[in-house]
A = this chain, B = another copy of it.
Amino acid sequence: MEKKSNVKQFTDRLEKLDFSKMYEGDFFLTWEKSQDEIAAVFEVADALRHLRENNISTKIFDSGLGISLFRDNSTRTRFSFASACNLLGLEVQDLDEGKSQIAHGETVRETANMISFMADVIGIRDDMYIGKGNTYMHSVVDAVTEGNKAGVLEQKPTLVNLQCDIDHPTQCMADMLHIIHEFGGVENLKGKKIAMTWAYSPSYGKPLSVPQGVIGLMTRFGMDVSLAYPEGYEVMEDVVKVAEKNAAENGGSFTVTNDMAEAFKDADIVYPKSWAPFKAMEERTELYGKGDFDGIKALEKRLLAQNAEHKNWTCSEELMKTTKDGKALYLHCLPADITGVSCEAGEVDATVFDRYRDPLYKEASFKPYIIAAMIFLAKVKDPVKKLQELEETAKVRQNG
């Protein structure tokens, strides 16, 4: 393969941003990061992809481990994390303890240290229980910070939140980078309308981290963000406040409606996706805490019945026609529940989904680069210089 690259287009923009605090930091929630820091992640992700596509190695680690800790099965996120680590030169080691095996408190402190002797990065996905996932991630970071100070660990590994109960930053930033590319730049997003809407699914209990992550992030770019769901499907109140504040500060708007059609009307972007009511997820967490499995069963039954009342909340061809020029960009974190394909009635019509297959896969393809950019910014002291160096050295990745 030929080598040609021009990483300058990214480093020129990167040089104007202040992201110095990301060095040796962690990535928990997008709204804990400044506008510049968010922009820096996008630039570095694009730069790394550019280098990769020009067959230039982006290995900044000669050796080292990326630890993945998933408390859920996950093919997509696992492969995205593994890809990001490999891109930078880290080997992945999965910690596959059962959901119950890793207790909290002191055990977290111990396990976090025991797996981190050679860890440069820890990626955690823990989205199942309200009030637990993000807290757990902080416990891990506290433990390895202390371990580093005490001389146990020769460095503090960087945490990447691969999905928690509050936010799904790697997903939503991949979604956002996809939008930026589709619309030809972040400067073109002002005044664009995005509809983040609930959609019917025959399964229940889908995590809230995607809708919350979307309203917490997309309100920062001057867009009109419309969150729509049937009554009773409220998301976490704290994140709604974040979205309101973001919109106020960044010149867009944030509205909540119980009408899917209203949200879709003239939308430039639509993101119809099922989730469970926040209150119900809180209830489930409490029931699990008590070990009340009969209660959990009853809750599941109730949630499925509640979902079934809203089968009309689906991304149909009819609804798509009401979007901007009938051609809104359709987003989904995948896998989607496709009517007549993966289920009888689901989140989206098969013809709609099919028409957007390539953009959907492209949307997903940004995730490994987003994760790699988060690691890069936490581990590299001078990212601009390092990206320039990588291009100049131009070490061939696939030497065929």
A interface residue numbers (CB < 8 A to B)? 49, 52-53, 57-65, 75-76, 79-80, 82-83, 86-87, 89, 91-93, 95, 97, 106-107, 109-111, 113-115, 117-118, 120, 147, 150-155, 334-335, 338, 341-342, 357-358, 361-362, 364-365, 367-368, 379-381, 386, 395-400
Q: Are A79 and B114 within 8 A (Cβ)?
A: yes
> What 8 pairs across the A-B complex have the smallest Cβ distances?
A83-B118, A380-B400, A150-B358, A152-B361, A379-B400, A57-B62, A60-B399, A53-B154
In the complex, the answer to whether B358 meets A152 with C-beta atoms within 8 Å is yes
Give Cα A95 to B82, complex, Å. 12
Q: List 10 A-B contacts (CB under 8 A).
A: A57-B62, A59-B62, A65-B83, A79-B95, A87-B118, A106-B338, A107-B335, A109-B357, A114-B364, A120-B398
**A63–B368 CA distance with the chains assembled, in angstroms:** 14
- The quantity of this chain's copies bound in the complex is 3
Report the bound CA distance from A49 to B151 in whole Å: 12
CB of A364 to closest CB in B, whole Å: 6
Task: Tell me if A75 and B63 are in contact (CB < 8 A).
Answer: no
Rounded to whole angstroms, the CA-CA distance of A117 and B368 in the bound complex is 8
Residue of B57, B118, B362, B380 touching A152 (CB-CB under 8 A): B362
By the criterion CB–CB under 8 Å, are A60 and B361 in contact?
Answer: no
CB <8 Å contact, A118 and B86: yes
Q: Does the CB pair B106–A62 fall under 8 Å?
A: no
Residue of A52, A58, A64, A118 with most partner-chain B CB within 10 A: A118
> Which residues from chain B contact A53 at a C-beta distance below 8 Å?
154
* A95-B78 Cα distance, complex, nearest whole Å: 10
A117's contact among B63, B80, B95, B396, by CB below 8 Å, is which?
B80
Contacts of A365 in B (CB 8 A): 113, 117, 152-153
A92-B38 Cα distance, complex, nearest whole Å: 32
| Complex: A226 Cα to B197 Cα, angstroms | 66
Chain B's nearest CB lies how many Å from the CB of A53? 5
Residues of B within 8 A of A58 (CB): 63
Are the C-beta atoms of A92 and B95 separated by less than 8 Å?
no
Q: Given A83-B118, A87-B63, A153-B365, A97–B111 Cβ distance below 8 Å? A: no
Cα distance A89–B111 when bound, in Å? 24
Contacts of A52 in B (CB 8 A): 154
A113 CA to B359 CA, complexed, in Å: 12
**Nearest-CB distance from A234 to chain B (Å)?**
31
List residues of chain B with CB within 8 A of the CB of A93.
Answer: 79, 82, 92
User: How far apart are the CA atoms of A342 and B114 in the complex, in Å?
Assistant: 17
